[in-house]
Amino acid sequence: MKSALIEKFQTIFGRAPEILARAPGRIEFIGNHTDYNGGSVLGAAIDRGVWVALARRDDGQRRLASDRRGQIITVPAARILKLSGAKRWANYPLGVLAAFPSFGLREPAGFDYLAMSDLPAGAGLSSSAAIELSSALAFAEAAGEQPSREVLVQAARHAENHFVGVPCGVLDQGVSGFGKNDHLVFIDCRGPRFELVPLPPGAHFWIFNTHTKHALVDGFYAARHRECLEAAQALGVALLVDVSPAVLAANAGRLPPLAAKRARHIVEEIARVAATVAALRDGNLVAVGKLLTASHRSSQHLFENSTPELDFLVDALVAAPHIFGARLTGGGFGGAVMSLASGKFDEAAAEPVAAAYAEKFGARPEILHLQTGDGAALHQP
């Protein structure tokens, strides 16, 4: 993909790029909506992601292009404005630029920029964080800055929260920034604190992408965020991470029924993350799989961010041989299901699941067999 990126950059801008950066997409392994509640989460950087190529300009113009859009977007250096319509993809790198001053980082004055991705859109694999992290690395290099990995992650999250407008936690950017092959990234979101957890041998990720709407910006994500904060306030804490399962059970009557369901999902999900880390360290993939499936049932019935399509896939997968467990991955409300499988699960085993889904919903899911990968990094042009 690197050579294709360089070739396309030369075609669009008539010169070679000076800087290359890549950041991976991620699988949300477990910890659904726990991050912005101050809890913990586990994610895996994957072997697909977003590449960014950049070359500096002396005239202050910022020209941005994407392999998935035909037009070049020209933005003056003096002011960064949020874009709409077909240009809104550029809000992710522009949001990173807008965030840099808040973290004491200089912005590159002018540049030509190209983003290229091999992540499927709408699959819950966080292409947004991948473009934010790869852009942040490229912009910092172009401006002569050498920020820490933590600062880059926080700047990328700031871009998504305050410029793009999605009130996400640090999961997506943290995993894309700190990922490592054959490991999961554990994040204590209160710090945030990042730690690598080895993935036991024989674990395989299979993603079933429904291509149904993944409408985070459209309000569902923001609504759950608000509901969680209201539940925390009613319980007298700043964030739900400060509520134990026992305290929640004792005080559930103080909450409206909807808030009680949301709070229970978050509090129990944080406990499932801790149990999953322990099971991973023991190499017990059977136990890990049961926790993954329990996470989905909680998302389905308590947090209500699943869909009939996602529920059908989880039901079909956990009934299939060689599957340890399955759950929705990402924000929910569409998108994809992740399953944890042994090496005996293959394309032939995946086919009956896809066929049953197609018979019920009239379209086949996209099937991806993904591996872990390394986090965001600069590359030689």
> Is 172 a residue of the active site?
yes
**Model confidence, pTM:** 0.89
Predicted confidence (pLDDT) per residue in 324-364, tens digit: 999 998 888 888 899 999 999 999 999 999 999 999 999 99
pLDDT reading at 94 higher than 80: yes
CATH match of 204-370 with 2.60.40.180: no
Q: What pLDDT is stored for residue 229 in this prediction?
A: 94
Predicted confidence (pLDDT) per residue in 172-211, tens digit: 899 999 999 999 999 999 888 999 999 998 899 999 999 8
- Active-site residue, from 172, 188, 218, 346: 172
Average pLDDT, the chain: 92
CB atoms within 10 A of CB 174: 31
Q: Structurally, what CATH architecture does the domain formed by 2-200+373-379 represent?
A: 2-Layer Sandwich (3.30)
Mean pLDDT within 156-181: 90
Please report, for the chain, the start and end positions of each structural domain, with discontinuous segments joined by +: 2-200+373-379, 204-370
Q: Assess whether the region 2-200+373-379 and the region 204-370 belong to the same CATH fold.
A: no
